[in-house]
């Protein structure tokens, strides 16, 4: 998915080329959905808002609880109730980043001592 955002340089300026080569901003999701550029990526993610929000919440919670090494691992089933609780809490604030992060900080897995 990140390639759809390649038009933005490291400081956020728009560019059409990198190293004098045109930038390919196309991509394909795991389900075969194709997109071209940031506008289409946004549309694709909005069409899958529930899945996107769940995945983001799972990854943020994994990072908060276990650190970087776990963000690419499947979410343990016992953590899913906390993920759903975070999403319920953040829903009232339109799933802003601050509402997701605050709900994660109040979640049971985050407050429990590390195993």
pLDDT for residue 69: 74
Measured CA to CA, the distance from residue 112 to residue 93 in angstroms comes to: 25
Q: Do 74 and 57 reside in the same domain of the chain? A: yes
Domain total of the chain: 2
Q: Do 18 and 53 reside in the same domain of the chain? A: no
Q: Do 106 and 74 reside in the same domain of the chain? A: yes
Mean pLDDT of 90-112: 94
Q: Do 19 and 59 reside in the same domain of the chain? A: no
Q: Do 63 and 96 reside in the same domain of the chain? A: yes
Q: Nearest 5°: phi and psi at 70?
A: -100, -5
Domain residues for the domain of 62 are: 49-111
Q: Do 62 and 35 reside in the same domain of the chain? A: no
Coil, helix or strand at residue 20:
coil
Q: Do 56 and 29 reside in the same domain of the chain? A: no
Q: In sequence order, what are the beta bridge partners of 22?
A: 17
Measured CA to CA, the distance from residue 72 to residue 95 in angstroms comes to: 22
Q: Do 86 and 102 reside in the same domain of the chain? A: yes
Q: Whole-prediction pTM value? A: 0.77
Q: Do 96 and 62 reside in the same domain of the chain? A: yes
Per-residue pLDDT for 71 more than 90? no
pLDDT for residue 2: 77
Q: Do 55 and 95 reside in the same domain of the chain? A: yes
Measured CA to CA, the distance from residue 58 to residue 73 in angstroms comes to: 10
């Amino acid at each position: 998915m990140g390639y759809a955002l390649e038009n933005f340089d490291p400081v956020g300026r728009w560019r059409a080329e990198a190293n004098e080569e045109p930038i390919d901003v196309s991509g394909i999701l795991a389900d075969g959905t194709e997109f071209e550029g940031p506008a289409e990526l946004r549309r694709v993610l909005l069409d899958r808002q529930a899945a996107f929000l769940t995945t983001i919440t799972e990854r943020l919670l994994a990072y908060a609880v276990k650190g970087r090494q776990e963000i690419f691992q499947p979410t343990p089933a016992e953590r899913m109730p906390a993920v759903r609780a975070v999403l319920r809490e953040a829903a009232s604030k339109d799933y802003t980043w601050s509402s997701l992060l605050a709900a994660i900080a109040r979640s049971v897995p985050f407050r429990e001592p590390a195993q």
